[in-house]
Amino acid sequence: MGLIRILDPQTANSIAAGEVVERPASVVKELTENALDAGATTITVSIRNGGILSISVTDNGCGLDPDDALNAFTRHATSKIWLIEDLDTIGTLGFRGEALASIAAVSKVTLKTRQPGDTVGTQVRIEGGELLSHGPTGCPEGTSILVEQLFYNTPARFKFLKKDSTETSAIAEIMERLILARPDVSFRLLANGQELVHSPGNNDLLSAIYAVYGKRQAATCVPITGESGPLTVSGYAAMPDGARHNRSGQTVLVNRRWIRSKTVTAAIDEAYKSRLMKGRFAFVVLKLDLPPALVDVNVHPQKLEVRFWKDGDVFSSVYQAIVAALNEHSGILAPEKSATEEHLEETSENVITQNMQLPNETPKPAYDDISATYGPNNNILSLHDKAADAPAEAVVRTDKSDYSPDKSDQSAPSYEQLTITSSSYADTVLKVADLTEARIIGTLFDTYVLLEWTDELLLIDQHAAHEKIIYERLRQARREKREQMIQPLLSPQTIAVTPAERIMIESEQPFFQSIGFDLEAFGNRSVILRTIPDLQSARIDPELALRTALQLLVKDRPSGPEEVDELLYQIACKAAVKAHDRLSMLEIQQLIADLIPLENPYTCPHGRPVIIRQSRLEIEKKFKRVL
Ligand code: ADP
Ligand code: MG
């Protein structure tokens, strides 16, 4: 007897289900995408115990007629592609016709649906892939799908479910992405009856950002726009004071789909380079729109990764769009803004995560408890009762009385008028060009230059300023690919070296030559230096430049052009004016004049501020002249 058997359809379905339905969040993803494909403008997702107990997704979309309500559960039944050619120009989110069949194979599903204009709706109930009932029912227009007891019949999968809060987070993340991808749709997520997030659906991306990340984050955002051939770039980028501790604030949407892209991430990093401190990440919500034929969305089974027709074009468009927005709006932060900066850092969690702060965790029932979990007679209430004395899974507001079940049909929240426009951000910053009107007071601690400007005291970190001047000039020189990056010394300089240094210089002679050091051994203990690299700074000590180069080379020999630039920059910084060098009035004026033409004079190469402002009011408060 052969060993090969054809699996019965139910087994086959539940195996295939594993690909589509891994966890509650995948159910939410599939059902919400279906709702969007059905043209819904409001979608409510309500989960219990991280979606393990139940998930309901209710939409006001086009609904299904009685026949289709049943057909929808057949594998490879889809209304979304008719011909194989359609696969190339898929405009909808789902297209495999597998989700509903897969979900129904591993849970208990109740579908209620009514097409607009129809007098009655249809209800379909399926358990573990078996049809229980199919018939008319009264229900609102649109579709609502209730998925209960996920994986009740597949213990192996049930076992892999995580804690309720982990599953809730995964669901929240799906909702977060949808809210940002579709500001035209109002989404609402309830966990155990508590509202975690509610977006207005007013087709305004900034309102969507507000809904997900809160007002403070939204207030740091400026709009970005860009175009390159068939590609348009839009969305919002946060100014440096809106940066976060990780990449959780980076959203990339390609044709309204949330995706990951190394190219886009690299472009974001490059655009923020030298604007953010180490360990800080840009906050951006980037929308890329381009003809579907120019982007391959099917690279990754979860449809997360895409392939662009021209990576280089995508990189430069994103980079330029962000840099243009940042340059337009950056400046010396208003005194109040710099003061609130730290606060944002601390509370940079998004709204959903904040709403999810769990006082106590209800542990996920163990695998052995599966029958207890879902009850001997599959009675949902049994677990519900059991969980009733346990603390709520998620708490949204401190004011619990705020929630009542009949609020479930409340309309979208009215968002406080967002007055965050590009111009208002620009109003709060001072441009470096304004410094020409400031009165130079002098220097403080031989480190800061003090200026008086209208009702403010400005402080320039002279070392940070100087570093930035050198940094940008070097970058500029590289961009213009200037051949002459060499600075001849007025007279050759003899420099004493150790035997070890001599060996290093001799073996790395071609490299030294290539970056602009023309040197020659002179006896055993010295070298003659004729030229140094042109470090774009008037005050460079040649000997210090050579010593720094030697030191850095011992540590690490640069390979690519980027690393060579970094090396030159470090040499320049070490060999140039330091803090603690007293600047003359003339030098201060020169420093300010050198800052003005820079692309971004506001942060040093490491992202620290170059100039800060102190208001007269703050000073007068300290003297108790005002209260
Ligand atoms: P797919 O989305 O890949 O077509 P699904 O199994 O997710 O496959 O859904 C099967 C079909 O059921 C869809 O093609 C659609 O016609 C219908 N459908 C599913 N959800 C909804 C909904 N919320 N509103 C209207 N029709 C729906
Ligand atoms: Mg689908």
pLDDT in tens, 550-566: 888 888 888 877 788 78
The model's confidence at residue 49, banded by pLDDT at 50, 70 and 90, is: very high
Q: Which residues contact 246 (CB under 8 A, 6 or more apart)?
A: 281
Per 3-state DSSP, the chain is made up of helix, strand and coil in percentages (nearest 5) of: 40, 25, 35
Closest protein CA for atom 2 of ligand 1: 94
Q: What is the pLDDT of residue 299?
A: 58
Q: What is the pLDDT of residue 393?
A: 35
What does the pLDDT look like over 574-594, one tens digit per residue? Answer: 876 565 678 899 989 999 999
Distance (angstroms) between ligand 2 centre and the Cα of 203 equals 23
Q: Is 40 in the pocket of ligand 1 (CB under 6 A)?
A: no
Q: Is 472 in the pocket of ligand 1 (CB under 6 A)?
A: no
Distance (angstroms) between ligand 1 centre and the Cα of 194 equals 28
Cβ contact 504:550 at 8 Å: yes
Distance (angstroms) between ligand 1 centre and the Cα of 78 equals 6
Give the other-Cβ count within 10 Å of 87's Cβ: 10
Which ligand 1 atom is nearest residue 81's CA?
4
Q: Which ligand is nearest to the CA of 36?
A: 1
Q: Which of 15-29, 136-150, 175-189, 344-358 has the lowest mean pLDDT?
A: 344-358
Distance (angstroms) between ligand 1 centre and the Cα of 378 equals 27
More confident residue, 325 or 332: 325
Question: What percent of the chain is predicted at pLDDT more than 90?
Answer: 47
Question: Dihedral of CA 304/307/312/317: which sign?
Answer: negative
More confident residue, 537 or 172: 172
What does the pLDDT look like over 474-504, one tens digit per residue? Answer: 888 777 765 667 888 989 999 999 988 888 8
Which ligand 1 atom is nearest residue 92's CA?
2
Instruction: State yes or no: pLDDT of 4 exceeds 70.
Output: no
What does the pLDDT look like over 180-191, one tens digit per residue? Answer: 999 999 999 999
Instruction: State yes or no: pLDDT of 352 exceeds 80.
Output: no
Distance (angstroms) between ligand 1 centre and the Cα of 399 equals 38
Cβ contact 179:208 at 8 Å: yes
CA distances for 218 relative to 273, 425, 520, angstroms:
22, 11, 58
Query: Minimal CA–CA distance to 460: which of 601, 293, 308?
Result: 601
User: Region 203-227: what's the mean pLDDT?
Assistant: 93
Q: Which ligand is nearest to the CA of 103?
A: 1
Question: What angle separates helix 585-595 from helix 462-479, to the nearest 10 degrees?
Answer: 40
Which ligand 1 atom is nearest residue 34's CA?
20
Closest protein CA for atom 8 of ligand 1: 97
Q: Is 59 in the pocket of ligand 1 (CB under 6 A)?
A: yes
- Average pLDDT of the chain is 82
Distance (angstroms) between ligand 1 centre and the Cα of 165 equals 28
Query: Minimal CA–CA distance to 211: which of 191, 193, 232, 185?
Result: 185
More confident residue, 279 or 483: 279
Return the HEC string of 139-167.
Answer: CCCEEEEEEECCCCCCHHHHHCCCCHHHH
Distance (angstroms) between ligand 1 centre and the Cα of 555 equals 60
Whole-angstrom distance, CA of residue 3 vs CA of residue 15: 19
Only one residue has tokens 């087709």, namely 203
Closest protein CA for atom 16 of ligand 1: 79
Only one residue has tokens 């086959």, namely 12
Q: What is the pLDDT of residue 478?
A: 73
The model's confidence at residue 524, banded by pLDDT at 50, 70 and 90, is: confident
Q: What is the pLDDT of residue 182?
A: 96
Whole-angstrom distance, CA of residue 431 vs CA of residue 538: 25
User: Region 327-337: what's the mean pLDDT?
Assistant: 80
Q: Is 62 in the pocket of ligand 1 (CB under 6 A)?
A: yes
Closest protein CA for atom 20 of ligand 1: 34
Which ligand 1 atom is nearest residue 102's CA?
6
Q: What is the pLDDT of residue 566?
A: 81
Which ligand 1 atom is nearest residue 63's CA?
25
Q: What is the pLDDT of residue 398?
A: 30
The model's confidence at residue 200, banded by pLDDT at 50, 70 and 90, is: very high
Closest protein CA for atom 19 of ligand 1: 34
Q: Is 121 in the pocket of ligand 1 (CB under 6 A)?
A: no
Distance (angstroms) between ligand 2 centre and the Cα of 354 equals 30
What does the pLDDT look like over 388-437, one tens digit per residue? Answer: 333 333 333 233 333 333 334 445 455 554 444 444 565 677 888 888 88
Q: Is 72 in the pocket of ligand 1 (CB under 6 A)?
A: yes
Q: Which ligand is nearest to the CA of 73?
A: 1
Mutate to test the pocket of ligand 1, among 57, 58, 59, 78 (most ligand atoms within 8 A of CB): 78
Instruction: State yes or no: pLDDT of 365 exceeds 60.
Output: no
Distance (angstroms) between ligand 1 centre and the Cα of 434 equals 59
What does the pLDDT look like over 293-308, one tens digit per residue? Answer: 888 866 566 667 788 8
User: Region 21-46: what's the mean pLDDT?
Assistant: 95
